Amino acid sequence: MDIASLTLGALRDFFIGPDAESLEAAIRRLAALGGLSLEHQDWREVEYDFNRLFVGPAPPAAPPYASLYLENEPRLMAESTLRVRHFYQMLGCISPWQDALPDDHLSLELDVCIMLRESLLNVCDHKLSELYAYFMAEHLVLWVPAFIEKVLNQSNLTRPIAGAVHLLADWLESERSWLAPAVLTRDLSRPAVQLTGR
């Protein structure tokens, strides 16, 4: 795996971290890759902040689900979620948490990005490149920036969470640049893939 994929893997694990130990492990991996400076943290405080932002029990301040940013009436498991599930199925993937966690959770989408970019690093496949460029341009960039903004606008944000979100923003921008040739060479009058929820 290249550095970008390793960073993405640590971000994936961070945004789905169930507890302080998991969050710390993901941040330590990011720090080892040179993406973050690691300072002494109260990891229970980071866990509390993580739950406040992304999990609950109160309504999360910045839920990590695409449908809550893409739908006219934001709700979980909406049409956009089913389109993501369909995209996974086209790639021969299925969420390991299907029916327990909506398919459009940020970490699940990052996991698919890891799979796609690793495949493209190993094999030059124009169709796969188009599919990844499509997923990036027609899905991720339509909601992840709003998610990032929502997180960064929160007060009293712990440093590890702010750092992870900044790295997510950096990755998104660099990945768009990396995939630019696939977008530029594609016939934009026709979608690379027809995503439907059915």
pLDDT < 70 stretches in the chain:
180-198
* Within-domain flag for 50: yes
**Measuring CA to CA, which residue among 164, 130, 124 is closest to residue 16?**
164
* Within-domain flag for 24: yes
Q: Within 10 A of 153 (CB to CB), how many other CB atoms are there?
A: 10
* Within-domain flag for 116: yes
Looking at the structure of the chain, the number of domains it has is: 1
At residue 122, the pLDDT reads 80
Contact between 67 and 75 (Cβ < 8 Å): yes
At residue 180, the pLDDT reads 67
Q: What is the CATH number of the domain that holds 123?
A: 1.10.3480.10
The total number of residues shown for the chain amounts to 198
* Within-domain flag for 195: no
DSSP structural state of residue 189: T
At residue 182, the pLDDT reads 52
Question: Rounded distance, CA 69 to CA 130, Å?
Answer: 24
* Within-domain flag for 198: no
Contact between 44 and 178 (Cβ < 8 Å): no
Amino acid (one-letter) located at 139:
H
* Within-domain flag for 21: yes
Amino acid (one-letter) located at 17:
G
